[in-house]
Amino acid sequence: MIGRNSLFGPVDPAADAGYADPPARKGFFTDTSVCIGCKACEVACKEWNDVPENLFEMLGTSYDNSHSLNANQWRHVAFIERPGPAGGTAGQPGQQADLPRPAVDLGMPEMGAPVVPDEAKPDFRWLMESDVCKHCTHAACLDVCPTGSLFRTEFGTVVVQDDICNGCGYCVAACPFGVIDRRRGPDGAENIGIAQKCTLCYDRLTDGQRPACANACPTESIQYGDVDELRRRADERVAALHEQGIMDARLYGNDPNDGVGGTGAFFLLLDEPEVYGLPPDPVVTTKDLPRMFNRAGVAALAMLAGAAVSFLGRRA
């Protein structure tokens, strides 16, 4: 049923889907400023969800070896090499402030940070980001699914039911982020030809557990919880970074008034979204469907009225 806000605009996705008394919406806040690129999230996701191997080959432009999100890669840690020193002048586009990055406690034996002279410091910096399905408030993949394989959970997330998906691929074309994909291999893997993507570990959520990737993240770059609480934390984190002079810090996907009604998985970025391979202004691809249906209905009624007038005119 198409309501006033069913395909766009801010809504509570679980309530909009018909859940009478849903729990608080769950999601991810990924803070890329503390991501160290360890890929523990990728491994945990594959282990828990039994996701088969991907093409682990080095890219020509990066140390990244898991390529991108696809049917066999539900979490992807991007390694993005950017020109310019790791330090810079606060407020200049594309540069972080000239501030030391705080060390991350990994629970390893203390060895101390190496002393690197200024002339030996690299003239580039790394941006690392663990990408995932955004679990959009208005999910076009869900809108176009003809079998009901994709459904909205009580937690506000979007999940694929493998045994119902017919592999039509409509959802693949509808996703504005290029996340969902049909599995093509390897030989012997389950769900070949079926649409696959992150479920936000729906089975763990129903058992009161955190998603596997958030559980494995050693720096808490991936935070899981109630979306409203995560948005509050994200706002505070951006304000703290701005106070430190890191003016490029910004949030992506947290605005419920954006083109997809905000996302359940949103990010703190240190550069423009395009640098991370994210669309700068995503729009739910089914946004215009109600208007198209209305116009098609008006056109059909006009044609029917014309045919009736013509028929009655000939009889007269």
2 annotated among ligand-binding-site residues = no
162 annotated among ligand-binding-site residues = no
How many CB atoms neighbour CB 82 within 10 A? 15
> 309 in helix, strand or coil?
helix
Nearest C-alpha neighbor of 63 from the set 86, 92, 37, 98: 37
63 annotated among ligand-binding-site residues = no
Q: How many alpha carbons lie under 13 Å from residue 204 in its C-beta half-sphere? A: 18
217 annotated among ligand-binding-site residues = yes
122 annotated among ligand-binding-site residues = no
Q: How many alpha carbons lie under 13 Å from residue 34 in its C-beta half-sphere? A: 19
Q: What's the rounded Cα separation, in Å, for the pair 152 and 54?
A: 27
289 annotated among ligand-binding-site residues = no
45 annotated among ligand-binding-site residues = yes
301 annotated among ligand-binding-site residues = no
213 annotated among ligand-binding-site residues = yes
22 annotated among ligand-binding-site residues = no
309 annotated among ligand-binding-site residues = no
171 annotated among ligand-binding-site residues = yes
Q: What's the rounded Cα separation, in Å, for the pair 90 and 98?
A: 7
Widest CA span in the chain? 99
270 annotated among ligand-binding-site residues = no
Helices (H) and strands (E) in the chain, counts: 8, 10
169 annotated among ligand-binding-site residues = no
Question: Tokens standing for 126?
Answer: 């790394």
153 annotated among ligand-binding-site residues = no
CB 141 within 8 A of CB 174: yes
119 annotated among ligand-binding-site residues = no
Annotated binding residues: 35, 38, 41, 45, 133, 136, 141, 145, 165, 168, 171, 175, 198, 201, 213, 217
Annotated binding residues for [4Fe-4S] cluster: 35, 38, 41, 45, 133, 136, 141, 145, 165, 168, 171, 175, 198, 201, 213, 217
